[in-house]
Each structure stands twice: as structure tokens, then as C-alpha cells.
Structure 1
Amino acid sequence: MDPLAFLAGAAAAAGACASLCMYLRARGAEREAARLRAELDVQRHAADHDALTGLPNRRAFYQRGAVLVADPSRHPLVAVVLDVDGFKEINDVYGHSAGDEVLVTIARRLSACAGTGLVARLGGDEFAGLIASHGTPDEQAARLSEALAAPLRLAGQIVTVSSSVGLVPVEPFAHLADAVHRADAAMYRAKSARRRPLLSHQHLVHTTIRLGRPRHSVEKDNTRPTPAS
């Protein structure tokens, strides 16, 4: 064999091997970069979203909401704050996994009602949103409460869970925290108006959560009354 031809062939083979190694290293680096980007995306999402419902969390709501309020093309807007009635009793009667299911259902229904607006879970059973204004705040609150109160299956039973809702108009460039504070106050006024002063625990479960049977079928409970939450 011609030595020069042999050396040329060996050099070509070595070059091909080196090129292959470089290609494999480049592909490996691309895969690692993609993995790191995916992990970063997950971390960013977790930092801005509620782990249970997938909604934006309190921090993300105020960050994104401020941008939304400052955009005149998105007005008229209303700020909404809602709280699940009797949520502690739901956890006590059905368990915390059922309570989580209620929160996920409320989050999904609120998102559907808000359309392109912004909704978030502030914490616990409290949600907030910025949505397009339709009608008076009282009318919109009534429509929203009705939509959220659609029956759902919980622990093998058909249950209707009610929510107290407060809405206030939001002017362009308004301070979002102030609007949410006023909506929160309106929500608590609505919740107070719904309460009955002498409800026993048994009555509270059957009127606030409203199990799928007539209210008058619940026998009167003469136990000491406990306040509604």
C-alpha cells in the first residue's frame, strides 16, 4: 500500500471522527440548553402561578393587573373579589381534597366568565379578577355568582357551593390595590347580607353548601348556634 495514500486515508478518517465527535457534543449541548430553558420556564411559571389552580398568584395579579388598568383600550373594567361561602365547613364535612376540588372548579368557572380578562387566586378561598364591565356591579355580581354556583359532584353527592362576590368599577390608570380593596369591602358586605344570625352547624351545611335535597327537609337543630364563616 502506498504510504502516502494510507496516511491520507487515516487523516480523512480522523477528520471524520473529529467532526462526528464535535457534532455529537453540539447536539448534547443543545439538548442540555433546552433542558435548562424548560426548567427555567417551569420555575418562572411556579413563581407566578398558584400550584393548585394554575391561576396567576397574588404577585402576578398585581403586576399584570397594573398593565391592564393602564391600557385604555381594555376599559371599561371592573375589579372583582370573591370568597367561597362556608369553605371551612366544606373541608370539615367532605375533607380537604374535596375543598381543593371546589377551588379548582371555582377557578375554572371564574376564568370562563372573565374571558380575556385577568383572574387570580389571592390565597385560601379568595379570588380576584379584572374583567370587562357589563351592566351595573350588582347585576354583574349576581350573574357571576349564578355561574359559579352551578352544581358539582363532591364526594359522591351533587352539591351547590355559593360564593360572595364584590365588584367595583375601575377607572383607567387607577391604583389597582385601591380598587381591589374596595371590591373586597363590597364582597364582605355581600357575605354579611347572606348570613343568618342563628344558623346551627347542621343548618349551615345545608343552606350555604345546599346539598341536593329540599331545604325544608332538614329537621330543626336545637343545638347551640355557631357563627357562619
Structure 2
Amino acid sequence: EQQYGQAIYIGDRLVFDKEKFDKLDEEVSVMDPDTYELVYVNDYMQRAYGLSDSSSWVGEKCYKILADRETPCDNCLNDRLRRDCFYTATRRNRKTGQYLFMRTTLIPWQGKNYRFSMAFDLSRYIFRDREEIDVVFREVMANDVIAIGMREADPHTGLQKMLEKIGHSLQAERVLIFEEQPDQTVSATYEWYQEDLQPMAPTVQHIPMDSLRPLYAAFDAKQMAIIEDAQAFVRAHPGFTPHLSGVRRLVSGHLTQSGKSLGFTEVVNPSALAFKSASLLLSTLTLFLASMLRNRDTFRSLERLSTTDQLTGAGNRRGFTEYIRAVPDGIFLAFIFGDLNGLKRINDTQGHEAGDHLLQQAVRHMKALSGDNAVFRMGGDEFMVIARNASEQQAQQLVRELLARYRSSGISMALGVVVCQTPIANIDEVLSQADREMYTDKERIYTSWRHS
């Protein structure tokens, strides 16, 4: 009180005894900002820097003791410090390598302004809840991946983009989905890989499931198989042949849906740092990926239903439109348009079941034609066969072959054919032309019937 007067004890100032800092589990120091000499270092800081007793630091320069320098630090804050605020900085402990978060200010000490600093080890706070952080990381990453998949209207596209996100996030070389097939094999159906690599999915098709039993047996209660050393895994399972080359580390998730095994995922050679995160992430995503596969199958089924005639199994008019849109430019297409003769008479005399059977027979003969053909039901008794890469001569040969099949089955069908090259500017004009050709043939058939 005699030295500082009453001012230090009144107003909004706080006074702390030095003993409060002696046993604090953080670094605390006081130094003269004019001479850089240390005047106080608490017990924790003495241990952190290996200072055996006060004689090893009292009066020593802070930059020599704390930074092992012969001159003041380049980023020294001394000329910026004030009594009314703290400054924040980071410092590295040269002995332990720890990164320290430091707050420093000016305080009254022995009649003048001294620099007061407190610092704590960042790693103690960052990593003490590492398990909780890993959970948060997993949830954030999983949510990002799931959001990518859900944004896509087509689950097939969503699955591919999800694999890309997983691969980038885990710094993996490639990520694949293997699906079980009806013939007791497994095939790679999706793959993402780094740009400097080549795809492997085409080379890993129809792998016998029996050869993968060691991998399936490695799945734990969370349906995960974590293989840190792929070569050691191969040595431990005689007869097991790895289906991918160059695998060092592998994280695999068993894909199941309602207790049924669908296949598995594989993250190939994730970075060593991301290896643990890979298992955490995939354990969360495995169920969602399986659901995406189920949604994809449902989507495909609905697509087939929406483009397929339910009675005959031929494509419908929507299927016809989508087929034409998907044909690349420069392809010759033969449009063979057919109209079934006598369907109304069959329905009236033998019943609609007999008429339905006649329609189904007509489609079967169209599908039996050789070549890469597509068959569509355009209306009640109107059908279209599209033959790819067919010349005029080949198209006429297909018509003769189809007529021969119908005659042998006692079916009367009027046919018209038009050949054109994609892109087709006006598909309605093509259909009209094929329709005219068909009616010319129909007129010939009816004329023949009248004369007979």
C-alpha cells in the first residue's frame, strides 16, 4: 500500500497472491519487458523446461531460456503490451515440441510494469476427448456422404458419388462395392479410384464366394473387417487369393439388408492417418449403402415397369421415346412397324384371353429375330421393331424373316419398314412413313383376302 497507494485496491482491479500461480498446472511467467529478464517462473513451467532451481533462470533472458536464442524473438510482443488488455499468441516448447496457447499482458510488479504470461498445452485439450472427437468426425463425415447420396434422384448416381466422397475423405486409392450374384459369385459393381490409377472393377467379376470365406469370416459384430496388413492376412489364410492387386491396408464393410447378405464394400489403402477413421466412417455408412442398393433396385424395377407393356413384355411408347433419345449419333436404325390383323375378330369370337395370347405370340416372334433389336408395343395391336446398324437390304431381310415366322404360326401381320440415320430430327415423320408403308402392306393383305 505504501508503494502503490490506494489505487491498486479500489475500482475494478483484482489482486492475486503469487502462491495462486505456483501450483497452477499451466505455464506462468513474469519478466521485465525492458531487459527481457525472467523474475518469476512457476513450478509447472520449471519442470516443462527442465529448470532445476531458481539459479538456472533468475535474471536470465526469456528468449534464451524459453526459445534457446541469443537475441529477442522476431515476433516479441513487448512493444505492444498494455495494462488494460491481453494479447494472444502461440509458442512452441523447444524441449517437448508442444504447441502452447499463450495470453500475455502488463502488470504492476515491484514498482514498474512487468510482462505477465500464462500458457497451456493445446494438445491436452484437443486430444483428451479423442474418442468423442472421433465420434463427431464420423458423424459429420457420414452426414456429408449421406447428403450427397440423397441429393441424387437416381440411386445409381448417388452411390457413385458417395464412393467418391468416401475415397477423398479417407485419402484412399480406390473404393469399391461388391455385390453377390445369383450364381454364388461376387462382382464389383461400383468403383471410385484416384486419377493416376486404372480401374480394377472390370477385372473382378464373378469371383466365387467360396474363395472369399476368410474375408466374410473377418466381419465383426459391427459388420466390419479391418485388415492393417493385407499380406499378413493372406499368409494367415492359406488358399485365400486376394482379388485386388497392390492392397496394403483394407477396410471392408459387410452389406446386409433384413438379415440378407448383399455383398461388401472395400476401402483400399486409406492413408495411415485416416485408417481408424475409415472403420468408424464405414461402420456408420454400411447400413445406408445397403439401403441405397435396395433403393436402386426398386428404382430400376419402377423404371422397367414405367417403360414396359405389362401384357407382352415389350417396351411401351415411353420406352420407345427413351430408347431413341439414348441412341448415339451416326447409327443407322431400321424401323419395322407392324399391325396385327384380325385381333378384333379373335376378341369377339374367342374372347379377350385368346386375343391377349395372340398379342404375346406376335411379340415373341419379334424378339426372336436375330441381331440387336428392340421391340415396342405402340398401341393396341401396333408394334415396332428397331434394328441397329441395319442397311436397307438387311432391313428387308428382317421383314421377310418375320413374315415367315408369322405365316408358320398362322398369324397375319402387316409390316412397313423405314431406315434412317441418327440423329433423327423428326421422329413423328419417321413413324408416319413407316405407318404408310405398313398400310400399303395391309391393303395388299386385305385385297388378297377378298379375292380368296
Give TM-score scaled by structure 1 length.
0.63
Paired with 1:149 and 1:121, the residues of 2 have a C-alpha distance of 20
Q: Is the 8 A contact 2:335 2:385 kept in 1?
A: yes
Q: 1:83 to 1:37 in 2, by over 3 A?
A: same
Alignment partner of 1:43 is 2:318: no
Residue 37 (structure 1) shift: 3.7
Q: Which residue of 1 aligns with 2:334?
A: 78
- Deviation string, structure 1 residues 124-172 (Cα, Å, up to 9, x no partner): 1110122123627655433322223322xxxxxxxx1110000012133
> Which of 159, 178, 203 matches 2:429?
178
Paired with 1:113 and 1:194, the residues of 2 have a C-alpha distance of 22
Q: Is the 8 A contact 1:110 1:148 kept in 2?
A: no
Q: Which residue of 1 aligns with 2:399?
A: 141
Q: Which has the higher helix share?
A: 1
**SS of aligned partner of 1:188:** helix
**SS of aligned partner of 1:55:** coil
Residue 198 (structure 1) shift: 8.5
Alignment partner of 1:112 is 2:368: yes
> Which of 318, 336, 357 matches 1:101?
357
- Larger RCO: 1 or 2 (CA < 8 Å, sep 6+): 1
Percent identity, please.
27
Superposition pairs of residues 1-229 of structure 1, within 5 angstroms: 28=258, 29=287, 35-68=294-327, 70-72=328-330, 74-75=331-332, 77-113=333-369, 115-131=371-387, 132-133=390-391, 135=393, 140-151=398-409, 160-174=410-424, 175-196=426-447
Residue 94 (structure 1) shift: 1.8
**SS of aligned partner of 2:408:** coil
Q: Which amino acid aligns with 1:50?
A: D
- TM-align CA RMSD: 3.2
Q: 1:34 to 1:192 in 2, by over 3 A?
A: same
Q: 1:134 to 1:144 in 2, by over 3 A?
A: farther
Q: Which amino acid aligns with 1:192?
A: E
Larger Rg belongs to: 2
Residue 36 (structure 1) shift: 3.9
Paired with 1:194 and 1:36, the residues of 2 have a C-alpha distance of 49
Paired with 2:363 and 2:292, the residues of 1 have a C-alpha distance of 34
Residue 96 (structure 1) shift: 0.9
Q: Is the 8 A contact 1:80 1:180 kept in 2?
A: no
List alignment gaps of at least 5 residues for structure 1. 1-18, 152-159, 208-229
Q: 1:35 to 1:91 in 2, by over 3 A?
A: same
Residue 85 (structure 1) shift: 0.8
**SS of aligned partner of 1:78:** strand
Q: Is the 8 A contact 1:166 1:185 kept in 2?
A: yes
Q: 1:143 to 1:110 in 2, by over 3 A?
A: same
Q: 1:71 to 1:113 in 2, by over 3 A?
A: farther
Q: Is the 8 A contact 2:337 2:383 kept in 1?
A: yes
Q: 1:33 to 1:161 in 2, by over 3 A?
A: same
Q: Is the 8 A contact 2:416 2:439 kept in 1?
A: yes
**SS of aligned partner of 2:299:** helix
Q: Which amino acid aligns with 2:322?
A: Q
What is the number of equivalent residue pairs in this alignment? Answer: 172
Q: Which residue of 2 aligns with 1:12?
A: none
Q: Is the 8 A contact 1:118 1:130 kept in 2?
A: yes
